[in-house]
């Protein structure tokens, strides 16, 4: 299996070269996208194969330092995420085939490398390879943003790329020491070796903090989420989908691998608490911001923060329950996290690709410039509706299955005896419900303002439905997401090895082919039954009403509460009689936004005698990113000033500094050497 993975990985490198050569031969662009599509399908198939048949031994690569050769291996956990990556990559490949056929070579060069980095990170069997893949992923995705910035020459894009690079470097600066600390002085970085030498006490807490900072910043967990809504939407739709759907999951995989799988055994319940609380904060902040954003792709990126938070909560809860020796419940929480990760990858890719189609067709991402697109692009509208409903956690779609399991685990977590855990879990349960409802509001707002109502700009009316390959990608994603939502039990049975690795409990969630449940005594969820029930009742209603009245509906002008008909120069009605994006967000802005997002509203009246209309100004800002960035910037300036004197040193003094550092390190080794 590892050899297959290595082959697939190697196939991506010539594709990157071909992408670089697309400047001269534009036809190579299609080759890159087609190749990435096929390799991604290979990843997905490989993931399924490993989940079914097992992964086999690690493959040592003839690369890397002699004491720690790079090694590749797939086990249940990495196979689950590889499957996810493959599905997202295949869909974005198809989408790119349609829309990115004339992409600039820089982007075509980075795109396969981005996939390569993610797959390498997932397939790594030692800490060094993991970091290598993670950083390759970071840099390649940064390259994609830079390519976009150079293409559009926009100030916003350039800033986004810089911010992204800053956070990527910060992540690396946290993750590399974390791996180093885990390896200890013995220096065995292979996963088997790391698992054999568990961390303890303050060292474990330090590693936990570093991993949460490093991988959490990439996943978009609060408080390091500030870059995500700025950077993700900048990229073209396919890359945004890959970033939101797959890259955040790779970061979560790193958390699950390092904190739960390698560092998780024999830890107290408090081990999972930080992850649980940070996840809850992310879910709430992300969902609330998603209800306020006025740019469609930014909204989707904020919703990603919400769902990443929910997955992180599942992982954290699993660690809490595992620490309290509640193995079966820990496996429910782990199953919820894995299922929701997969579900989110599918529906968020679907939504980003639909947003890309909308941008392509209607020429804007701003919700205030869209509207009524269901008439112009019905297929995209219906596909996006599936995605939105899944993201809104509506039964029987996949979002609900994941959140149902998460809630079941939360509702049973009071069995951990400690009062602080119980109170924390109760508060967190409320946060999950709140952010789920907020997420539903955000998705309704996104979909409704894009596709329903009347066109807000004439440009919208020229939109056309998706072209065939992209259409296939959308429909395939709908089918996959619906299938995953209807058969969560089978899916979790397939992912049993992954669940076992995260939760440390061999037995699985009560998962039959048709249902999934928390424990034998507790409740069960039957998605197919729900679908059948709703479908039968709906069919009966249709049939019954058809007997009562056969007349088809008549069409007439909209009543609109008695508003007068619009003047002739407004053929699509007066835009002021339809809610704007900010107007639709007003209730929640007043209810929650003023406290959590520093939202404000102000009415500016014209001066007496001035016939100008009064203006309403409303807005919000996320208080977290500025709060972090400002001290960081100040510290950077200080550091730069302090480093100024280095410039005046002579060569001799430079050598002295290097020599001194070497001596210091040697002395450290002598003092704290291996026993």
Site for another protein in 412-441 (CB under 8 A): 412, 414, 417, 419-420, 422-423, 426-427, 429-434, 436-438, 440-441
The dihedral formed by the CA atoms of 351, 490, 261 and 265, expressed in degrees to the nearest 10:
130
Strand partners, 71: 60
Q: Which is nearer to another protein, 129 or 436 (CB)?
A: 436
Q: Which is nearer to another protein, 55 or 309 (CB)?
A: 309
What is the DSSP track for 91-150? HHHHHHHHH-TT--HHHHHHHHHHHHHHHHHHHBSBHHHHHHHHHHHHHHHHHHHHHHHH
Quick check: 543 binds another protein (CB under 8 A)?
Answer: no
Please choose, out of 54-62, 236-244, 292-300, 530-538, the segment that lies near another protein by the rule CB under 8 A: 530-538
Quick check: 591 binds another protein (CB under 8 A)?
Answer: yes
Cα–Cα dist 291/230, whole Å: 16
Q: Which is nearer to another protein, 64 or 583 (CB)?
A: 583
Quick check: 340 binds another protein (CB under 8 A)?
Answer: no
Q: Which is nearer to another protein, 6 or 433 (CB)?
A: 433
Cα–Cα dist 182/506, whole Å: 25
Q: Which is nearer to another protein, 115 or 280 (CB)?
A: 280
Please choose, out of 80-88, 95-103, 213-221, 394-402, the segment that lies near another protein by the rule CB under 8 A: 394-402
Quote the distance between the C-alpha of residue 6 and its chain's center.
26
Please choose, out of 149-157, 523-531, 646-654, 663-671, the segment that lies near another protein by the rule CB under 8 A: 523-531
Q: Which is nearer to another protein, 127 or 361 (CB)?
A: 361
Interface residue with another protein among 197, 522, 667, 668 (CB under 8 A) is 522
Q: How far is the CB of 574 from another protein (least distance, A)?
A: 10
Phi, psi of 190 (to 5 degrees): -70, 150
Cα–Cα dist 246/477, whole Å: 14
The count of chain residues that interact with another protein, using the rule CB under 8 A, is 85
- Spell out, one character per residue from 85 to 124, where the chain touches another protein: x when CB under 8 A holds, - when not: ----------------------------------------
- 638: exposed, middle or buried (C-beta count within 10 Å: 0-12, 13-18, 19+)? exposed
Interface residue with another protein among 588, 599, 618, 625 (CB under 8 A) is 588
Please choose, out of 110-118, 465-473, 476-484, 551-559, the segment that lies near another protein by the rule CB under 8 A: 551-559
Q: Show contacts with another protein in window 155-194 (CB under 8 A).
A: none
Q: Which is nearer to another protein, 214 or 399 (CB)?
A: 399
Local structure of 484: helix, strand or coil: helix
Please choose, out of 67-75, 214-222, 358-366, 446-454, the segment that lies near another protein by the rule CB under 8 A: 446-454
Quick check: 551 binds another protein (CB under 8 A)?
Answer: yes
Q: Beta strand 600-604 with 510-511: parallel, antiparallel or unpaired?
A: unpaired
Q: Show contacts with another protein in window 358-377 (CB under 8 A).
A: 371-372, 374-375
Q: Which is nearer to another protein, 255 or 432 (CB)?
A: 432
Q: Which is nearer to another protein, 16 or 383 (CB)?
A: 383
Cα–Cα dist 88/169, whole Å: 25
Local structure of 60: helix, strand or coil: strand
Q: How far is the CB of 495 from another protein (least distance, A)?
A: 22
- 49: exposed, middle or buried (C-beta count within 10 Å: 0-12, 13-18, 19+)? middle
Q: Does 396 sit behind a cis peptide bond, omega within 30 degrees of 0 on the bond before it?
A: yes
CA triple 451-449-144, angle to 5 deg = 85
Q: Which is nearer to another protein, 57 or 560 (CB)?
A: 560
Look-up: residue for tokens 């020429």? 363
Q: Which is nearer to another protein, 200 or 523 (CB)?
A: 523
Say which residues have a Cβ less than 8 Å from residue 158's Cβ, sequence separation at least 6: 149
Phi, psi of 312 (to 5 degrees): -60, -35
Please choose, out of 24-32, 117-125, 582-590, 627-635, the segment that lies near another protein by the rule CB under 8 A: 582-590
Quick check: 391 binds another protein (CB under 8 A)?
Answer: no
Q: Which is nearer to another protein, 68 or 434 (CB)?
A: 434
Q: Show contacts with another protein in window 627-656 (CB under 8 A).
A: none
Q: How far is the CB of 466 from another protein (least distance, A)?
A: 18
Quick check: 670 binds another protein (CB under 8 A)?
Answer: no
Q: Which is nearer to another protein, 180 or 575 (CB)?
A: 575
Q: How far is the CB of 226 from another protein (least distance, A)?
A: 23
Q: How far is the CB of 583 from another protein (least distance, A)?
A: 7
Cα–Cα dist 402/514, whole Å: 15
Q: Which is nearer to another protein, 132 or 424 (CB)?
A: 424
- With helix as H, strand as E and coil as C, how does 419-449 read? HHHHHHHHHHHHHHHHHHHHHHHHHHHHHHH
Angstrom CA distances, 658 to 373, 654, 672, stand at 63, 6, 21
Please choose, out of 13-21, 95-103, 125-133, 402-410, the segment that lies near another protein by the rule CB under 8 A: 402-410
Q: How far is the CB of 440 from another protein (least distance, A)?
A: 6
Phi, psi of 124 (to 5 degrees): -65, 145
Angstrom CA distances, 177 to 51, 180, 208, 211, 442, stand at 31, 5, 11, 9, 38
- What the block records as the tokens of 564 is 């007068």
How many other β-carbons are positioned within 10 Å of the β-carbon of residue 581? 21
Quick check: 459 binds another protein (CB under 8 A)?
Answer: no
Quick check: 379 binds another protein (CB under 8 A)?
Answer: no
Q: Which is nearer to another protein, 78 or 408 (CB)?
A: 408
Quick check: 596 binds another protein (CB under 8 A)?
Answer: no
Say which residues have a Cβ less than 8 Å from residue 36's Cβ, sequence separation at least 6: 12, 15, 89, 93, 96, 111, 112, 115
Interface residue with another protein among 24, 559, 567, 569 (CB under 8 A) is 559
Strands (E), 253-296: none
Of 252, 294, 242, 210, the C-alpha closest to 580 is 294
Please choose, out of 49-57, 158-166, 183-191, 518-526, the segment that lies near another protein by the rule CB under 8 A: 518-526
Local structure of 392: helix, strand or coil: coil
Please choose, out of 294-302, 503-511, 543-551, 639-647, the segment that lies near another protein by the rule CB under 8 A: 543-551
Of 474, 431, 153, 438, the C-alpha closest to 291 is 438
Q: How far is the CB of 534 from another protein (least distance, A)?
A: 5
Q: Which is nearer to another protein, 533 or 665 (CB)?
A: 533
Q: Which is nearer to another protein, 101 or 433 (CB)?
A: 433
Quick check: 50 binds another protein (CB under 8 A)?
Answer: no
Strand partners, 524: 517
Quick check: 331 binds another protein (CB under 8 A)?
Answer: no
Q: How far is the CB of 373 from another protein (least distance, A)?
A: 10
Interface residue with another protein among 3, 506, 538, 639 (CB under 8 A) is 538
């Amino acid at each position: 299996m590892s050899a297959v993975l290595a082959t697939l990985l190697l196939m991506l490198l010539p594709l990157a070269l071909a992408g670089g050569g697309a400047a001269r031969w534009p036809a190579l662009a299609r080759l890159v996208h087609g190749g990435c599509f096929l390799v991604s399908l290979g990843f997905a198939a490989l993931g399924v194969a490993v989940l079914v048949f097992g992964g086999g031994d690690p493959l040592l690569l003839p690369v890397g330092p002699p004491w720690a050769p790079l090694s590749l291996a797939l086990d249940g956990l990495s196979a689950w995420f590889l499957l996810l990556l493959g599905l997202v990559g295949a869909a974005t490949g198809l989408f790119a085939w349609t829309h990115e056929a004339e992409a600039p070579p820089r982007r075509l060069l980075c795109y396969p490398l981005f996939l390569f980095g993610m797959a390498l990170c997932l397939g790594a069997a030692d800490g060094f390879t993991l970091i290598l893949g993670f950083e390759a992923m970071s840099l390649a995705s940064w390259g994609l943003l830079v390519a976009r910035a150079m293409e559009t020459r926009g100030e916003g894009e350039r800033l986004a790329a810089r911010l992204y690079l800053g956070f990527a470097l910060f992540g690396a600066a946290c993750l590399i020491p974390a791996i180093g600390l885990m390896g200890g002085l013995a220096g065995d970085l292979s996963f088997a070796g790391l698992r054999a030498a568990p961390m303890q006490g303050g060292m474990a807490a330090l590693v936990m903090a570093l991993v949460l900072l490093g991988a959490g910043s990439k996943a978009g967990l609060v408080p390091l989420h500030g870059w995500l809504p700025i950077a993700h939407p900048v990229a073209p739709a396919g890359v945004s989908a890959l970033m939101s759907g797959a890259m955040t999951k790779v970061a979560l995989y790193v958390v699950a691998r390092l904190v739960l799988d390698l560092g998780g055994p024999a830890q107290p319940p408090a081990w999972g608490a930080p992850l649980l609380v940070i996840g809850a904060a992310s879910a709430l902040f992300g969902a609330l911001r998603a209800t306020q954003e006025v740019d469609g792709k930014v909204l989707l990126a904020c919703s990603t923060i919400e769902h990443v938070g929910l997955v992180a909560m599942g992982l954290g809860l699993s660690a809490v329950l595992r620490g309290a020796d509640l193995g079966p419940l820990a496996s429910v929480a782990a199953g919820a996290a894995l299922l929701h990760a997969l579900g989110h990858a599918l529906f968020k890719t679907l939504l980003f690709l639909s947003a890309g189609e909308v941008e392509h067709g209607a020429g804007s991402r701003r919700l205030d410039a869209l509207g009524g697109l269901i008439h112009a692009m019905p297929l995209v509208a219906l596909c996006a509706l599936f995605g939105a409903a899944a993201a809104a956690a509506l039964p029987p779609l996949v979002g609900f299955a994941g959140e149902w399991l998460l809630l079941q685990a939360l509702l049973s977590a009071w069995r951990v005896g400690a009062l602080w855990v119980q109170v924390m879990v109760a508060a967190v349960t409320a946060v999950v419900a709140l952010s789920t409802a907020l997420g539903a509001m955000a998705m309704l707002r996104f979909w409704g303002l894009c596709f329903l109502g009347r066109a807000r700009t004439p440009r919208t009316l020229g939109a056309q439905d998706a072209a065939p390959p992209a259409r296939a990608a959308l429909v395939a994603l709908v089918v996959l997401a619906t299938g995953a939502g209807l058969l969560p039990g089978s899916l979790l049975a397939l992912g049993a090895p992954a669940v076992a690795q995260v939760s440390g409990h061999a037995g699985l969630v009560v998962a039959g082919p048709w249902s999934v449940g928390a424990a034998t005594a507790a409740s069960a969820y039957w998605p197919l039954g729900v679908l059948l029930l709703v479908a039968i009742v709906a069919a009966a209603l249709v049939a019954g009403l058809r007997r009562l009245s056969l007349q088809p509906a008549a069409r007439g002008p909209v009543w609109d509460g008695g508003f007068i008909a619009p003047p002739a120069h407004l053929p699509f009605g007066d835009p002021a009689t339809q809610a704007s994006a900010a107007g639709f967000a007003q209730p929640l802005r007043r209810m929650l936004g003023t406290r959590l997002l520093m939202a404000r509203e102000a009415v500016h009246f014209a001066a007496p005698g001035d016939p100008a209309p009064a203006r309403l100004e409303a807005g919000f800002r996320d208080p977290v990113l500025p709060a972090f960035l400002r001290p960081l910037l100040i510290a950077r300036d200080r550091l730069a000033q302090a480093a100024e004197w280095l410039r005046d040193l002579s060569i001799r003094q430079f050598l002295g500094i290097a020599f001194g550092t070497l001596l210091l390190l040697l002395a450290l080794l002598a003092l704290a050497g291996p026993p």
